[in-house]
Amino acid sequence: MASEVQRGRLGGSEGQPVLHLLVVEDNASIRAACLEIASNMAFSAVGAPDMKEAEEILRHQAVDVLLLNLKIPGGGGMDLLERVKKLQPDTVVIAMTAAASVSSAVEAMRVGAAEYLTKPFALEELTSVLENAGARRQFDLESRRLRERLRSQRGVGNLIGHSPEMEKLYRILSKVAHTSHPVLIVGERGTGKELVGKTIHSTGLHAQRQFTPVDCESLAPEMIENELFGFVKGAFAGAIRNKAGLLATLEGGTVFLDEISELPLELQGKLVRALQDREVWPMGASHPVPLTARILASTSRNLVAMVEAGRFRRDLYFRLNVVNLRIPALRERQEDIPVLAMHTLSKAQRDQYAEKEFPRTFSDDVLRLFLEYEWPGNVRELEAVVERACAVSSGPVVNLGDLPSPLQEFWMQGRSVRRVDLEAEADQDLGHIVSMAEVEKKTILTAIQMLNGDKLKAAKVLGIGKTTLYRKLKEYGLGEGPERDED
């Protein structure tokens, strides 16, 4: 028997692929109803009355969503489910069962069905389950697409981003990685200076050797001196044995001098002599030892201005500035933002959730906000925002409501500016004047839509009480308020 096929007229919206649905149901009228409903949604739907035909279809075409009557006459519903999970593990399965066999629904969920429908079901119930399954599959596909894009967008080492600014950085980076010159890495806080330092080291000739950061900002000057130059026994009260300094022991390894501008002037002098003579004088030593480490330094301050002000040694600046690598601020390379955000989201999800969860993505508005925001804390700030949102959000989509309040406020302010602009335009064209009630209705509905239907979050973001929101929705003829809810 030929299977029935109904093509959804709508197709995939906004460039989304059309999803393929297979309905396995022996009852012809239920099957036809399912196909009819699916065809009015974004599905290309196919029906099969028995297992044999279902298997035939599954052999020849990829199925995104399977609507399966588990108790089909002749049996085999559960076997088919298990086989589908092996053959097409990403297929979202909706198990249909009779009311009496809830236990088989539970078993179906255990084997991998995402949802179940208990017969008899209302058409709205079917629509809602199909909608959920379709959305889930679209998210899978979308996040896979993003992951693939991410793979292809990976830069050098662990650096992410393919903006022209980053491409330029990679070109210089891959050249300097194969030399042993000092490199001065300049950029605002959180732009990735240390990561660039690590990447120079790990793509260089001595990647197997040690990379050691030394924080010139937070370590005490004596500590920095001990670490970098070492000392001999008896050099000072606590020096009970010789200690070799990093500059002499790393042998091809890299010392990363973080925030070099904070190095005290005296140590600047000692460092410049080491670089000049290629020799290191441990404290209290009577003879020098060879300088064997490579030196990379970073700064978020304007060293030229500090040299002019006499707060940084000119000779050290020239010694370090053999190669100058400037890392652009995040706002100067906006096109890297989505891919960095997506990378952080996948990583946060792996770190925060041990079990395999649904892959997450961002709502369009969140991505738009990310592009509009200035990111004063650069990539570090973006990472913190995304990690928090991943911990807070409960669904597959990270929405505006999952972001920290300052970002939500930033977005809302932007929105009101845009709305004022629209109203100003409307003043020019009286034909477009809208009532305040209409503006309010639009704002409420847009907020709910933006927050994926989460009315409680919408009320919070809009700064109104839950009861007010439910009352307004009722006024618009959209849904009932909760029974006991107070502002």
Ligand X SMILES: Nc1ncnc2c1ncn2[C@@H]1O[C@H](COP(=O)(O)OP(=O)(O)OP(=O)(O)O)[C@@H](O)[C@H]1O
- Would you say 71 and 24 are in contact if contact means Cβ atoms under 8 Å apart? no
Q: How far apart are CA 341 and CA 329, in angstroms?
A: 15
Tokens of 116: 């179940």
When binding is defined by CB under 6 A, the residue of 47, 49, 182, 187 that contacts ligand X is 187
Instruction: Give the residue with the Cβ less far from ligand X, 191 or 452.
Output: 191
* Minimal distance, residue 13 CB to ligand X, in Å: 32
* Minimal distance, residue 213 CB to ligand X, in Å: 9
Instruction: Give the residue with the Cβ less far from ligand X, 194 or 332.
Output: 194
Report helix, strand or coil for 46: strand
* Minimal distance, residue 202 CB to ligand X, in Å: 13
Residue of closest CB approach to ligand X:
192
Instruction: Give the residue with the Cβ less far from ligand X, 198 or 455.
Output: 198
The answer to whether residue 172 forms part of the interface with ligand X (CB under 6 A) is no
Instruction: Give the residue with the Cβ less far from ligand X, 84 or 330.
Output: 330
The answer to whether residue 193 forms part of the interface with ligand X (CB under 6 A) is yes
* Minimal distance, residue 330 CB to ligand X, in Å: 8
User: Would you say the C-alpha torsion 68, 70, 76, 81 has a positive or negative sign?
Assistant: positive
Tokens of 240: 């009970």
Q: With CA atoms as reference, report the closest residue to 267 among 317, 321, 224, 304.
A: 224
User: Would you say the C-alpha torsion 290, 295, 299, 303 has a positive or negative sign?
Assistant: positive
The answer to whether residue 160 forms part of the interface with ligand X (CB under 6 A) is yes
- Would you say 63 and 22 are in contact if contact means Cβ atoms under 8 Å apart? yes
* Minimal distance, residue 391 CB to ligand X, in Å: 17
Q: For residue 433, give Cα distances in angstroms to 356, 424, 425, 427, 439.
A: 50, 10, 9, 7, 10
* Minimal distance, residue 165 CB to ligand X, in Å: 11
Q: Tell me the one-letter amino acid at 244.
A: A
The answer to whether residue 6 forms part of the interface with ligand X (CB under 6 A) is no
The answer to whether residue 162 forms part of the interface with ligand X (CB under 6 A) is no
Q: Which stretch binds ligand X (CB under 6 A): 354-362, 377-385, 393-401, 443-451?
A: 377-385
The owner of tokens 């933002």 is 337
Residues 290-309 touching ligand X, rule: CB under 6 A, are: 298, 300
DSSP string, 124-148: HHHHHHHHHHHHHHHHHHHHHHHHH
* Minimal distance, residue 195 CB to ligand X, in Å: 4
Tokens of 219: 């370590």
Q: Which uninterrupted H or E stretch holds 39?
A: helix 28-39
User: In sequence order, what are the residues at sequence separation of 6 or more whose Cβ sits closer than 8 angstroms to the Cβ of residue 174?
Assistant: 156, 203
When binding is defined by CB under 6 A, the residue of 71, 85, 147, 189 that contacts ligand X is 189
Q: With CA atoms as reference, report the closest residue to 414 among 376, 370, 465, 468.
A: 370
Instruction: Give the residue with the Cβ less far from ligand X, 91 or 300.
Output: 300
Instruction: Give the residue with the Cβ less far from ligand X, 49 or 187.
Output: 187
Q: How far apart are CA 94 and CA 328, in angstroms?
A: 49
Q: For residue 463, give Cα distances in angstroms to 443, 458, 473.
A: 12, 8, 16
How are the residues of the chain apportioned to helix, strand and coil, as percentages rounded to the nearest 5? Answer: 50, 15, 35
Q: How far apart are CA 251 and CA 432, in angstroms?
A: 73
When binding is defined by CB under 6 A, the residue of 47, 49, 182, 192 that contacts ligand X is 192
b (16+ CB within 10 A) / e for 193-217: bbbbbbbbbbbbebeebebbebebe
Site size with ligand X, rule: CB under 6 A:
18
The answer to whether residue 191 forms part of the interface with ligand X (CB under 6 A) is yes
When binding is defined by CB under 6 A, the residue of 85, 209, 273, 380 that contacts ligand X is 380
Q: Which stretch binds ligand X (CB under 6 A): 48-56, 185-193, 220-228, 263-271?
A: 185-193
- Would you say 93 and 112 are in contact if contact means Cβ atoms under 8 Å apart? yes
Report helix, strand or coil for 299: strand
The answer to whether residue 328 forms part of the interface with ligand X (CB under 6 A) is no
Instruction: Give the residue with the Cβ less far from ligand X, 109 or 195.
Output: 195
The answer to whether residue 379 forms part of the interface with ligand X (CB under 6 A) is yes
Residues 34-63 touching ligand X, rule: CB under 6 A, are: none
Q: Which stretch binds ligand X (CB under 6 A): 159-167, 260-268, 416-424, 443-451?
A: 159-167
Instruction: Give the residue with the Cβ less far from ligand X, 182 or 187.
Output: 187
The answer to whether residue 201 forms part of the interface with ligand X (CB under 6 A) is no
* Minimal distance, residue 259 CB to ligand X, in Å: 7
The owner of tokens 């990270």 is 398
Q: How far apart are CA 484 and CA 249, in angstroms?
A: 71
The answer to whether residue 159 forms part of the interface with ligand X (CB under 6 A) is yes
The answer to whether residue 161 forms part of the interface with ligand X (CB under 6 A) is yes
> Which positions from 245 to 264 touch ligand X by CB under 6 A, shown as an x/- string?
-------------x------
Report helix, strand or coil for 90: coil
Q: How far apart are CA 109 and CA 114, in angstroms?
A: 6
Instruction: Give the residue with the Cβ less far from ligand X, 162 or 206.
Output: 162
The answer to whether residue 401 forms part of the interface with ligand X (CB under 6 A) is no
* Binding stretches for ligand X (CB under 6 A): 159-161, 187, 189-195, 258, 298, 300, 340, 379-380, 383
